[in-house]
Structure 1
Amino acid sequence: MNLAETTANPVGAGAMTKLNGFAQILRDNGFILGLAETRDALKVVASGGAARPSRLRPALRSLFCSRQSDWQKFDELFDAWWLQRGMKSATRVSGVPQTPPPGLQTETAGRRSSGESDQADHVERGEGSEVSEAGQSRREGASRTELLSKTDFRHLTNPEDLAEAHRLAEHLAKSMRARLTRRMHARRTGQRLDLRRTIHKSIAHGGTPLDLVWRKRKDKPLRLVMLLDASGSMSLYSAVFLRFMHGVLDSFREAEAFIFHTRLIHISPALKERNPQRAVERMSLLAQGTGGGTRIGESLATFNRWHARRCIHSRTCVMIVSDGYDTGAAEDLGAEMQALRRRCRRIAWLNPMIGWQGYAPEAQGMKAALPHVDLFAPAHNLESLKSLEPYLARI
């Protein structure tokens, strides 16, 4: 069947060629298009108002987009084919060589020469660019978030980028908690039959097991205890980690937070403030001495003596965020790490310097701690923090 014959109004050869090419581009990019959609699109093109791309875009979008993924890709493909914007990108995506189609611009130009005003042309371009700019801003926002996730925190010098990283770090902690909770509920659905109690109850029924007794595993919730190195060598990372810790305490019911430099400070009450900015300000009043030296061994001794019994149970993961540079004796750090290891389920040591090229744990403090560490992982960007979730899910 000739598709041009299915429309009520005649369609020019240029417009029909252009529409067929656009439909093929959409099919190459995963859109599901049939004869009915193409026939309706021809009717739209044949109507008088469809000559403007700004009016044609929403009409074709409603006809051709049947899934969320289609809506996400449509604007970029439309701009490339109809407005000749980003043709190189669209060609790479679709794999179809494209030549500038002779379509609506030619017909529109003919109308202009017949007497349409330049003001109409200005309105037409304005409407089309507005939709394109909105789509571009969405793509730029997603790209910026992805770029920030892979950027080392020490390279975030722009205040806007740093503020966005703070927000993403807090959001990451909350989303981790939500996913870990869903996994925990899924595990609880797998109940096992308590055979001993079932047999005991069946005695009253002559040995017939009419009443089945199920065994439920009583799981303790995962508890996170975070200790953040706030010394001078960690100053480029500590601000982002404070926002991550604020998100952890705001989302995890079982969580405690400490910072240490030359001494250990319990900051959970300060970080439980609902306002993140006020929480950081309140915490700064407690953290006198931040930015100086580090005594990791002495700080862990304080934790083991005064806080460990209250904070740690059988499903506790202690997360130490530090570069491992200790001004105290390495033997003391090793002894305190050994004592801490006997108390908790897991110890994760997050070192931002692991993300640096050519890094090796040569510091004496780091060498003394490593034998007692279950996970030694990088923590230099948001992507490395996100990779902690699978590990926590296995605890």
Structure 2
Amino acid sequence: MPDLGAAMRVKLGVFVATLRDNGFVAGLAETRDALVILSGAASTRPSRLRPAWRALFCSRQSDWQKFDEIFDAYWLKRGMKSATLLSGSPQKAPAGLKAVSSGARGLGDIQNADHVRRGEDVETTDTGRSRRDGASRTELLSRTDFRHMTQPEDLAEAHELAQRLAKGMRARITRRMRAARTGERLDLRRTIHKSISHGGTPLELVHRRRKEKPLRLVVLLDASGSMSLYSAVFLRFMHGVLDAFREAEAFVFHTRLIHISPALRERDPQRAVERMSLMAEGTGGGTRIGECLATFNRWHAKRCIHSHTCVMIVSDGYDTGPADNLGTEMQAMRRRCRRIAWLNPMIGWQDYAPEAAGMKAALPFIDLFAPAHNLESLKALEPYLARI
């Protein structure tokens, strides 16, 4: 192996330390293999070195998601997200790794520093805001309770984030597969696990195939006055759900039930909300959850629900009707569907307890009772839906 020089070996050592600081499992063996790759033809340009090192250092999905960002920040001096940690002391930029042909560049020819500090050379967007600031703002909005968003620009950005979140959830959930004896792909993880009992010989092959019956999602949103601070964001989330989930239906309810799926299937979100507002006359008043669920069970359940359906009810549980009616209708719905998830924004409030009579009557028939007061709580639904 050709001698790379002390400066480049130190630089590589600091890069490996940076990976360890960000949760990578990288030791002496990986560092030695990285030196071998660095002394070969892959070092002529970053586009060849990055995938080689990515395959070497990344052993988990989270590693694959972070590696490109750390590599670009360290070796190419490009912007990075604020959540990524960089460590190591500044070193003098070493000479080029090896001679290259005209028009090609080695890593040493790129004018970069060994240590990337926060706040320096960060890429900016068209609006003049840095990508790091944009990521920080997104994280802040994701943790902010919807009722505390008072600025119009914050609400507009939360609406867009909710819609993108819904589309991303659908894309990831539909790509999930289940284990099977025969299938489209080989499940390496389960195959290796089964080979342990045979001394490491993969005698039993495990395959993966798509789920035969896709998940169907039915969303019922409480549009009463007590939910007015949350319903606007949830409408955008529901628009993203119906735009991305082919197997989905949406309803809003207050004193009556309204089917809004045709309106929310509009491609333009603003036009969809305007159409829905014309249909949902009477929003912002009282709520009769039991009567609305009775309407759903009688006129819509047979068409909307099958054995692989998750019914998602978004409500604070305050019902002006008899609590017994709500319990009866929840029991009837539970017999039809696979899961019932009740999202209550008040769970995210301090010292909340489900004391409302309607909420108590519904709890025995709920599979998931979860908060829904910010975008992070919506994002937490994805693992649950993926297991159905």
How far the C-alpha of 1:161 sits from its partner, in A, is: 2.3
Q: Sequence identity, in percent?
A: 68
Which residue number in structure 2 is paired with residue 299 of structure 1? Answer: 292
**What is the rounded CA distance, in whole Å, between the counterparts of 1:74 and 1:366 in structure 2?**
51
Aligned pairs for 1:226-245 within 5 A: 226-245=219-238
| Partner SS for 1:29 | helix
CA contact (8 A) 1:170 1:243 kept: yes
User: Structure 1-normalised TM-score?
Assistant: 0.66
Which residue number in structure 2 is paired with residue 259 of structure 1? Answer: 252
Q: Which amino acid aligns with 2:337?
A: C
Q: Structure 1 stretches of 5 or more lacking a match?
A: 7-15, 39-58, 81-88, 104-128, 192-215
Aligned pairs for 1:313-328 within 5 A: 313-328=306-321
Residue of 289, 312, 327 corresponding to 2:282: 289
Whichever of the two has the greater Rg, that structure is 1
How far the C-alpha of 1:93 sits from its partner, in A, is: 4.2
CA contact (8 A) 1:227 1:260 kept: yes
CA contact (8 A) 1:61 1:71 kept: no
Which residue number in structure 1 is paired with residue 272 of structure 2? Answer: 279
Change (3 A) 1:21 1:234: same
Deviation digits for residues 53-104 of structure 1 (CA, Å, limit 9, x no counterpart)? xxxxxx9988996658565236766899xxxxxxxx99x842x5x5x8899x
**What is the rounded CA distance, in whole Å, between the counterparts of 2:263 and 2:181 in structure 1?**
37
Which residue number in structure 2 is paired with residue 28 of structure 1? Answer: 17
Which residue number in structure 2 is paired with residue 72 of structure 1? Answer: 69
**What is the rounded CA distance, in whole Å, between the counterparts of 2:278 and 2:233 in structure 1?**
18
Q: Write 1 or 2 for the structure with the bigger share of helix.
A: 1
Residue of 319, 325, 328 corresponding to 1:332: 325
Which residue number in structure 1 is paired with residue 351 of structure 2? Answer: 358
| Partner SS for 2:351 | coil
CA contact (8 A) 2:340 2:367 kept: yes
How far the C-alpha of 1:351 sits from its partner, in A, is: 0.6
**What is the rounded CA distance, in whole Å, between the counterparts of 2:233 and 2:171 in structure 1?**
21
**What is the rounded CA distance, in whole Å, between the counterparts of 1:37 and 1:335 in structure 2?**
68
CA contact (8 A) 1:230 1:290 kept: yes
How far the C-alpha of 1:263 sits from its partner, in A, is: 0.9
**What is the rounded CA distance, in whole Å, between the counterparts of 1:79 and 1:390 in structure 2?**
35
CA contact (8 A) 2:122 2:132 kept: no
Change (3 A) 1:60 1:71: farther
| Partner SS for 2:130 | helix
Q: Which amino acid aligns with 2:69?
A: Q
CA RMSD of aligned residues (A): 4.0
CA contact (8 A) 1:188 1:217 kept: no
User: Structure 2-normalised TM-score?
Assistant: 0.67
How far the C-alpha of 1:356 sits from its partner, in A, is: 1.3
